[in-house]
Amino acid sequence: MIVEIFRVKVKHYVGASGKTFFGKLSPVLFYFLWLFVVGFVSIALRFYGIAVGALLDDFVTALRPLTVSSILAVGIFLGMKGGITAINYEVEYIFTSTVKPRTFLLSDFLFQFIFLNLFAMPASAVMVTLLTYPRHVANLVQMLPLLEASIVSAILLGHILGMARNWLDRKYVMAVGWALIASVLLPLLDMFLGWFPGLKQASLPANLVLGLLGGGWNSAAGAVFIAFLATAYALMAGKIRYMGLAPVLTHVLTEPPKKIFNVIKTPKSLSRLFGIGADDGPLVLTLKIHMTRFVRDGSLWITAFVLLLLVYVNSFLPQALAVTATIEASYITIITLYTPLIPALLSINWVLSERNNIWLYQLSVHKIKTYVISLLTAYVIVSLVFSAGLLTAVHLFSGPVPIVYLDFLLLTSSSVFGSFFALLMSTSVKKMPSPFSMTSVFLVVVPLLGSQILSLPVLVARLFEPVVKNPPTMLPPFLMAYVLCLSMAVYYVSIRNSRNVSPH
């Protein structure tokens, strides 16, 4: 039965990829694109390592705790949301059948295990090989078992947190989840920044998994930790009931989702921040509607979480590579690189959950252009606020970092161009995409790449230290004019393209 449930789940997913040849091929293309991106980044890092004379074995060593902590954090986060993935039909038919919850859980374990391995293992192998060839075998022998242990621990933790809802109130599960996330991420602060000394040695989940490679007592402690999780899992799985579960990803991974996030309740004061009133004009009203959606449907918080996690994890790379001379430039580059991810993620959510509400605007007396402009404005506002917040955080945590006009220009261009591309992509999509279709890839990649390409002159100027210290007289007005003119051009194209936007 475990395999049967698993098989139907996979069929459901593969079947959702489409009827056309290209549609059927899209998960494969998606997979190879993923490997290509990982390979490309690895080769770029390899060249960078050669240029700065850094031994990339150190980089791979530094990558280990990052990988373990990230995978565990994702597992725990999923666990806080419910942990167990179930498609709608599974909830309606299997949860009401005589199939035991333990059987279903094991099939979900199998699904998550194979799925995560499929994505993480070959990609890691490619990365480690490209970074450390010809010493790759030794690194692979260390990295891959660690990855496997992290994946198993992450799924176990996620399921355990999900099952815990049978006995604990949601808020207690959330509290345990946040404590666990802190426990897997905080050791990184000690490892890379030397903050909270001793955390690296503490018996925290990430350290225990990492200890598996240490030999002796460390390996034994790691093995005991995983065995403890497995035992707890087995004991809990035999006692839970379906009604105590809160499955996640009921649409994602398997079929074109209607929406990723459920509407979340926020404090009234926060909800009323963008209070929708009878006196608002059309543009302000729709802008408020978008902002309310970001806050209440959770897309804002998910985006913030993803962005913070990426910036947090990647901010250790400069230290790992000992590139400390231009540390603030590294931080700013990382923030700039990820800022377009904000509108990209918000636009995916728009495609999945909001686009079908367009009929309300199509039948309104106001022009659809008003709606599109307000959506664009909302993306730009959120991107600017987030990136400015991150810049301020860098400023606070890295000591007094001189912030130059180029930083503001870079964040502005990155936010604005990212938002334009996100709008352009999301309004061009005709059908609701499945999560691993090429369309989904484009929805993220195009805003990221497009924004980087258009921001390149500003980015190059920012990273070239002599220019930052002694800018040529004509450079600031030239760059400002460049950003302004290009913004106007992409604005025109994206608004023009969105004129005929309609529900799926």
Partner 1 sequence: MATYLVEVNDLWKSFGKIRAVRGISFRLEPGQIHGLLGPNGSGKTTTLRCIVGLLRPDRGTVKIAGEEISKTDSYKRTVGYLPENPSLPEYLTVEEFLIFSAKLKGLDAERVRRDVSHLMDAFGLVDVSDRLIYELSKGVRQRVAVSASLVGEPPILIMDEPFNGLDPEAQKTTKDFINITVERGGAVLISTHLLDSAEKICNYASVIAEGTLLQSSPLYELKRYNGGKSLEEIFIEMVSRRRIRKIDS
Name the site residues for partner 1 (rule: CB under 8 A): 262-263, 265, 276-280, 282, 285, 289, 292-293, 296-297, 354, 356-357, 359-367, 502-503
* CB closer to partner 1, 363 vs 474: 363
Cα angle for residues 180, 182, 186 (degrees, 5° grid): 130
Q: How far is the CB of 262 from partner 1 (least distance, A)?
A: 7
Q: How far is the CB of 21 from partner 1 (least distance, A)?
A: 17
- In one-letter notation, the amino acid at residue 157 is L
CB 380 within 8 A of CB 417: no
Phi, psi at 248, each rounded to 5°: -110, 170
Least Å distance, CB 367 to partner 1, is 8
Q: Given the complex with partner 1, which of 194 and 503 has the nearer CB atom?
A: 503
Closest CA to 407 of 457, 471, 458, 456: 458
Packed helices 438-463 and 405-428: angle between N→C axes, nearest 10 degrees: 160
Output 165 or 290, the one with its CB closest to partner 1.
290
Amino acid (1-letter code) at residue 142: Q
208 touches 225 (CB < 8 A): yes
Distance in Å, CB of 392 to partner 1, minimum: 29
Minimal CA–CA distance to 287: which of 349, 179, 220, 375? Answer: 375
3-state secondary structure of 85: strand
Contacts of 129 (CB under 8 A, 6+ apart): 136, 140
CB of 361 to partner 1, least distance (A): 7
Rank residues 54 and 91 by Cβ distance to partner 1 and give the closer one. Answer: 91
Taking the complex as a whole, the smallest distance from the CB of residue 356 to partner 1 amounts, in Å, to: 4
Radius of gyration of the chain (CA): 24
Nearer to partner 1, 11 or 366 (CB): 366
Helix axes 327-338, 368-397, angle to 10 degrees: 160
The pair of structure tokens assigned to 272 is: 């009323």
Shortest spacing between CB 292 and partner 1, in angstroms: 6
| Cβ atoms within 10 Å of 96's Cβ, excluding its own | 9
Nearer to partner 1, 320 or 345 (CB): 345
Closest distance between partner 1 and the C-beta of residue 33, in Å? 29
Residue 227 or 276 with smaller CB distance to partner 1: 276
Nearer to partner 1, 433 or 450 (CB): 433
Asked if residues 453 and 397 have their Cβ atoms less than 8 Å apart, the reply is: no
